[in-house]
Structure 1
Amino acid sequence: MKVFGNLSFGNMEKTLGYKERSGFENGKENIVNHYYSDTDTYVLVDSVSLVLKVTKDQVWEMYGGFLITYSMEIGWDELVRSMSPNLKGFLDNLDSLHYFIDHVVYKANLRGPSFRCEENPDGTLLLHYFTGRPGLYHIVKGVVKEVAKLVFNLDINLVVQGRTQRSVHMNNGERVEEHVIFLIKNVEEPRRDSDASGISLLTSTRPDFSEITDDSLRMSLQDFSKALPYHFVIDESCKLVHCGEELYNHIPLELLQPGTPILRIFEINRPQIPLDFENICNFINAVFVLQVKTSPLKKKHMDAMSKEERQQEVDAMEEDDRSNEFTQGCHLKLKGQMMMLSTKKHIIYLCSPYVTSINELMQFGMRLTAMPLHDATRDLILLNQQRLTDVEVNLQLEANNEQLETMTRELEAERRKTDSILKDMLPRKIAQQLLSGEHIEPCEYEATVMFCDLPAFQQIIPVCQPKNIVTLLNEVFFKLDRIVVLRGVYKVETVSDSYMTVSGIPDYSSQHAETMCHVALGMMWEARSVMDPVNKTPFLLRIGMHSGTIIAGVVGTKMPRYCLFGETVTLASQMESLGLAGKIQCSKWTYQKAMETGRFEFAPRGRIAVKGRGDVETYFLTRSLKKSIWEITDHERDVNVNSIEGYEELETSIENAQENKRKPDQTNSAACVIA
């Protein structure tokens, strides 16, 4: 995060440390127009405090200083420097700056603090800080110190003179408000000369108009009401004394009579304080937003009543301030400044309609001519139309970016699934070449091809339900697939109950025949754990193998397959079809190749007639002399039950299954039950 880099918080390891401790995701800490909850902020500050071994108050103060530095770096520099020629003027206008950035620029509508500055006779300042989020006053110290240094070239010292908290009752409930008083002193003389060297950088000199008594400067109440058509004046009891003429178009006449409590006319939106004289004085520098309680529809309805009926309606509204009418329709809002008059007993509210767009203007039934020519609200409405368009475009872009990121993640997940499926359909090396866009040339290999099937499968089909047949094949092939993956050979395809694999392609291995023999023994062992639902005996595979030269290449584009061609494939298929259930039949070429690199026990079967090849010498593979069944299948051996090699159990189970199939009462069973 940039904040910690600018504050010299240490190296990247510390940065990663507090982010990890806080639970922040990389790349998501700088989202524009996003409100981060106070909980996330507090967790982050706690983490920084622990990692850097400093107090939380120090972290908050450093954050306040960085807040000004960062704000000036991203484009607010000229605005901050142009606010006031001295520090007091800056602090007096801090509320309005905060309101503008928060409510006008970013539309965040956060619950901001309020500031009031007083000048002491000795040249020091008292800064009053009011907030509904207690404990964050150290941020103010960092902000004010950094502004004094960067903008006014002053070294100042802030000392907390007092800190109190009180419970405030609001319309939306009760909240705690904290009041902190800072004493601000100038530590040393300014480090640079100022053009206005005769004026203090902490405070400014105000002209004295007390001796001006020319009656020609006076203006009538009627002229004042026209010049400031939306203003009103209240006394110490917060009762109406005088108001501008334009308010009569939005508020019933009976409510605008002198002496009417202001709370009967307006609801305060900002700052979030009770609307009384003391609180208004405390927040005198804040931007006040008041909302008329009477909607335009209600105003129009009351205008149509007689005087007596209007008075009755006003009395009814006074008796029920909680009327739901306030929450319905469109109520005019006023935004402006509370100013204490010289009598110190009256406050004037200088304001304008809080209208920022053409749509809001039309909702209140107003036109631009309702705004005085000297009021900048006209320009604000017109300029804000373009700003709103830009904001909408930016928000839409952010939404589109977020959607694109989501779609990219989903697309990447689907791509990984597609790649995974392709790598399962083709040898991994070939699949990788296809994904890289390379052309796959057909090649000639020396390999060992194996076919196996379930001889009893054709007897099962007539007496089993389709879903049971699929479940049965899935169980058998799942176990065979496990051996294929474990021994590192390639599964070519399955057709019905026939299963085809090859060893030695596309990466050549001199041990291709030895590896395939181990695969055959492992498959034979795994198949015995699945029961024939008709004969109630373990399944016996019929396996055939042959080694020789084959042609291999990718065929097809929509569903590419890695296909094998040649006499080796044909002869391997014949070894399987001419074999016996429970036996692994190999040609002499596989026998010779397997014995070159491995040690096996074969039983000669003799010569059998093979179509197109005449009589071919064949062998039955019975066991491996290098690996036990437990090593081949990666199963743990039960030392109390199983033999060391496991081949005795394999031979016994095959013999028992063959014996049970020869029994007359088992041959024509029509029952098919799959557990």
Structure 2
Amino acid sequence: MEKFGQETWDKLSSLPGVPDSFMTYTVYDDVLTVSLVQEASSLLDVSAEVLLKLFGEHFFAFCKKAGYDTMLRTLGGNLTEFIGNLDSLHSYLALSYEQMNAPSFRVEMTDDGKMLLHYYSDRKGLYHIVPGIMEAVAKDIFDSEVTMTIVNQSEEDERTGKKEHVVFLVKQTNHVNHRGKALPGTMMERCVPLAGEKHRLDRAVVPSDQGSLLCTFSPRYPRKLWVDEKAFCNTFPFHIVFDENLKVRQTGVNIQKFLPGLHARDLTLDQHFTIIHPQVTFTIESIRKFVNSQFVLKSNKDKHSSLKLRGQMLWMESLGCMLYMCSPKLRSLQELQDVGLHLADLAQHDVTRDLVLLNQQRLAEMELTNQLERKKEELSVLSRHLEVEKEKTETLLYAMLPRHIANQLKDGKSIEAGEFEVCTILFSDVVTFTDICAACEPIHIVHMLNSMYSKFDRLTSIHDIYKVETIGDAYMVVGGVPVPMVTHAHRVANFALGMRIAAREVTNPVTGTPIQVGLC
């Protein structure tokens, strides 16, 4: 509506199958989305690809207005990090939008320094939204220009069926800052430009072999890992280590408690778990392809007690094993109970503890929001119905009373009887009306009178005279009442001439000839 106007949306919303309103936490079928895009494309004479890209730009602006601005700005320090954390953001939003079917993103840097964005989704035909979002993100958050070109498009067979795979070539052009200067080269200079000389002192006391405060910081790794096996398994009770053949090599204590058979000699990890997100096959090759994505695994227990794990995959080249550092994926305290866990089973450092408690309150707020939206929509519908009924009432009121008197009654004012010394009154009736009534069906009489009175009523508006009453075939009007006027007699006379002409267009149901009207 902001770009193409209310009239365009009214035309689209009038299409069959389009709901009167859209609720925030309600899931709508992609068939409806595609249908709306196609109809809008035809209506506006704009290609569907352009519309989807515009939708992507608008969606980013909508997310900012909806309060996700700070969250989006903290996803990454550059566009590559931002894209790499989109799957994590979608996982978080799934706590609120439980049935959300979000795409997966993966960034690949080629040997010649080019950035390729891999887009995976089982919702076909929506990939043109991505350039719109990314260009808006780059411009608003990273002060740069981005152009995206499709270099490959295919369908891949995954565990859940065919998945659309689109590869974009991303070209980014950075801008200078508002003062016309390039951004500082070090993290310290960017973060604390007003800190005086303190950062130089900090840099001086950091030994050269123990790291650096510059952007070229290199981590210092210990020669020996100062954590024993028992402490590690207790501290990270939900981790899993497995090899290239998916054979489990190590697990946290709570994984062992929940799945005691996980270390069986002939069993592999895919026999105990299913990958829920990203939707890929359970092989080392597929997992390594999405190693920067957040992985959600679901235990293959019965439906009511299955455990979902959410975490990060880390490939350990020296051991030839994959470390899955994870924690239970829970939305509420009820889910915690359903899988047979307690808050005590979550490590003290695990933010899942806080997340479950906070989301418990958030779910209650969401339900209140849903109820508020439903009531708001019901109120809107009732308001529209009330306006329609109000218009009908006003039409009936104006048909019975002069408009200015009706308006005074609507305003709650009392109307006193008035006296009009000079006015003109006209009476009319249908000649031989009694004989006509005796010779034909009542419905024919009704049709004749409706036709005649409709024409006469239109004449009263033209000549600005007041219809007092209609009884049967009798029609009474008055000029100069209730608004006094000098030309009342002329107006009534002209009305009478108009009645004669209008009567010729009304047919006598008995004879089939025009009716005759008597005037006095």
Q: TM-score range by the shorter chain?
A: 0.7 to 0.9
CA–CA distance in structure 1, aligned partners of residues 43 and 470 of structure 2:
58
Is 1:450 aligned to residue 403 of structure 2?
no
2:165 maps to which of 157, 161, 177: 177
Counterparts of 1:153-552 in structure 2, within 5 Å, are 163-180=151-168, 191-192=183-184, 196=188, 199=213, 201=215, 204-209=217-222, 212-213=223-224, 217-220=227-230, 224-247=232-255, 251=259, 257-295=264-302, 329=304, 331-343=306-318, 345-445=320-420, 446-454=422-430, 456-458=432-434, 470-471=446-447, 473-524=449-500, 526-527=502-503, 529-531=506-508, 533=510, 539-544=515-520
CA–CA distance in structure 1, aligned partners of residues 108 and 214 of structure 2:
15
Counterparts of 1:555-634 in structure 2, within 5 Å, are none
Measured after TM superposition, the shift of residue 119 of structure 1 is 11
CA–CA distance in structure 2, aligned partners of residues 388 and 99 of structure 1:
16
Residues 577-597 of structure 1 deviation map (CA, whole Å, 9 limit, x = unaligned): xxxxxxxxxxxxxxxxxxxxx
Read off the aligned partner of 2:102 and give its amino acid letter. Answer: R
Which piece of structure 1 moves more, 274-283 or 511-520? 511-520
CA–CA distance in structure 2, aligned partners of residues 351 and 273 of structure 1:
18
Residues 217-240 of structure 1 deviation map (CA, whole Å, 9 limit, x = unaligned): 3314xx554443333223223344
In structure 2, relative to structure 1, the CA distance for the partners of 1:97 and 1:484 (3 Å cut) is closer
In structure 2, relative to structure 1, the CA distance for the partners of 1:395 and 1:46 (3 Å cut) is same
- Is the Cα–Cα contact under 8 Å of residues 168 and 274 in structure 1 kept in the other structure? no
- TM norm structure 1: 0.58
In structure 2, relative to structure 1, the CA distance for the partners of 1:163 and 1:43 (3 Å cut) is farther
SS in 2 for 1:104: coil
In structure 2, relative to structure 1, the CA distance for the partners of 1:115 and 1:145 (3 Å cut) is farther
CA–CA distance in structure 1, aligned partners of residues 214 and 171 of structure 2:
17
In structure 2, relative to structure 1, the CA distance for the partners of 1:228 and 1:485 (3 Å cut) is same
- Which residue in 2 is equivalent to 1:113? 104
CA–CA distance in structure 1, aligned partners of residues 512 and 85 of structure 2:
92
In structure 2, relative to structure 1, the CA distance for the partners of 1:536 and 1:194 (3 Å cut) is closer
Measured after TM superposition, the shift of residue 43 of structure 1 is 9.1
- Is the Cα–Cα contact under 8 Å of residues 292 and 313 in structure 2 kept in the other structure? yes
CA–CA distance in structure 1, aligned partners of residues 135 and 319 of structure 2:
31
In structure 2, relative to structure 1, the CA distance for the partners of 1:103 and 1:454 (3 Å cut) is same
CA–CA distance in structure 1, aligned partners of residues 400 and 410 of structure 2:
13
SS in 2 for 1:196: helix
- Which residue in 1 is equivalent to 2:16? none
CA–CA distance in structure 1, aligned partners of residues 518 and 135 of structure 2:
86
Residues 67-89 of structure 1 deviation map (CA, whole Å, 9 limit, x = unaligned): 87886787556556666678876
SS in 2 for 1:335: strand
- Is the Cα–Cα contact under 8 Å of residues 249 and 263 in structure 2 kept in the other structure? no
Measured after TM superposition, the shift of residue 366 of structure 1 is 3.2
CA–CA distance in structure 2, aligned partners of residues 471 and 44 of structure 1:
44
Measured after TM superposition, the shift of residue 162 of structure 1 is 9.7
In structure 2, relative to structure 1, the CA distance for the partners of 1:472 and 1:355 (3 Å cut) is same
CA–CA distance in structure 2, aligned partners of residues 285 and 511 of structure 1:
89
Read off the aligned partner of 2:224 and give its amino acid letter. Answer: T
Structure 1 unpaired stretches of 5+: 3-14, 150-154, 297-328, 545-675
SS in 2 for 1:386: helix
In structure 2, relative to structure 1, the CA distance for the partners of 1:538 and 1:126 (3 Å cut) is closer
SS in 1 for 2:423: strand
Measured after TM superposition, the shift of residue 384 of structure 1 is 0.9
In structure 2, relative to structure 1, the CA distance for the partners of 1:280 and 1:82 (3 Å cut) is same
CA–CA distance in structure 1, aligned partners of residues 335 and 348 of structure 2:
19
- Is the Cα–Cα contact under 8 Å of residues 114 and 131 in structure 1 kept in the other structure? yes
Measured after TM superposition, the shift of residue 116 of structure 1 is 4.4
Residues 236-255 of structure 1 deviation map (CA, whole Å, 9 limit, x = unaligned): 2334444444345655x556
In structure 2, relative to structure 1, the CA distance for the partners of 1:401 and 1:67 (3 Å cut) is closer
CA–CA distance in structure 2, aligned partners of residues 515 and 185 of structure 1:
77
- Is the Cα–Cα contact under 8 Å of residues 451 and 498 in structure 1 kept in the other structure? yes
- Which residue in 2 is equivalent to 1:314? none
- Is the Cα–Cα contact under 8 Å of residues 168 and 175 in structure 1 kept in the other structure? yes
- Is the Cα–Cα contact under 8 Å of residues 448 and 508 in structure 2 kept in the other structure? no
Read off the aligned partner of 2:244 and give its amino acid letter. Answer: E
- Is the Cα–Cα contact under 8 Å of residues 118 and 165 in structure 2 kept in the other structure? no
In structure 2, relative to structure 1, the CA distance for the partners of 1:376 and 1:44 (3 Å cut) is farther
- Which residue in 1 is equivalent to 2:88? 96
- Is the Cα–Cα contact under 8 Å of residues 56 and 131 in structure 2 kept in the other structure? no
- TM norm structure 2: 0.72
Residues 316-341 of structure 1 deviation map (CA, whole Å, 9 limit, x = unaligned): xxxxxxxxxxxxx5643221111112
In structure 2, relative to structure 1, the CA distance for the partners of 1:46 and 1:376 (3 Å cut) is farther
- Which residue in 2 is equivalent to 1:647? none
CA–CA distance in structure 2, aligned partners of residues 48 and 537 of structure 1:
52
Residues 282-335 of structure 1 deviation map (CA, whole Å, 9 limit, x = unaligned): 211212122223215xxxxxxxxxxxxxxxxxxxxxxxxxxxxxxxx5643221
Residues 425-458 of structure 1 deviation map (CA, whole Å, 9 limit, x = unaligned): 1123332333344443433332111223346445
Read off the aligned partner of 1:111 and give its amino acid letter. Answer: A
Aligned length: 476
Read off the aligned partner of 1:453 and give its amino acid letter. Answer: D
- Is the Cα–Cα contact under 8 Å of residues 86 and 200 in structure 1 kept in the other structure? no
Measured after TM superposition, the shift of residue 541 of structure 1 is 3.8
- Which residue in 2 is equivalent to 1:303? none
Read off the aligned partner of 1:196 and give its amino acid letter. Answer: M
In structure 2, relative to structure 1, the CA distance for the partners of 1:184 and 1:242 (3 Å cut) is farther
CA–CA distance in structure 2, aligned partners of residues 244 and 387 of structure 1:
30
Sequence identity percentage: 28
SS in 2 for 1:381: helix
CA–CA distance in structure 1, aligned partners of residues 84 and 494 of structure 2:
88
CA–CA distance in structure 2, aligned partners of residues 425 and 139 of structure 1:
59
In structure 2, relative to structure 1, the CA distance for the partners of 1:340 and 1:159 (3 Å cut) is farther
- Which residue in 1 is equivalent to 2:137? 143
Read off the aligned partner of 2:275 and give its amino acid letter. Answer: I
In structure 2, relative to structure 1, the CA distance for the partners of 1:195 and 1:247 (3 Å cut) is closer
Residues 249-268 of structure 1 deviation map (CA, whole Å, 9 limit, x = unaligned): 655x5565345343333232
In structure 2, relative to structure 1, the CA distance for the partners of 1:293 and 1:186 (3 Å cut) is same
- Which residue in 1 is equivalent to 2:208? none
CA–CA distance in structure 2, aligned partners of residues 81 and 522 of structure 1:
74
CA–CA distance in structure 2, aligned partners of residues 213 and 257 of structure 1:
30
SS in 2 for 1:444: coil
Residues 607-652 of structure 1 deviation map (CA, whole Å, 9 limit, x = unaligned): xxxxxxxxxxxxxxxxxxxxxxxxxxxxxxxxxxxxxxxxxxxxxx
In structure 2, relative to structure 1, the CA distance for the partners of 1:60 and 1:48 (3 Å cut) is farther
- Is the Cα–Cα contact under 8 Å of residues 307 and 339 in structure 2 kept in the other structure? yes
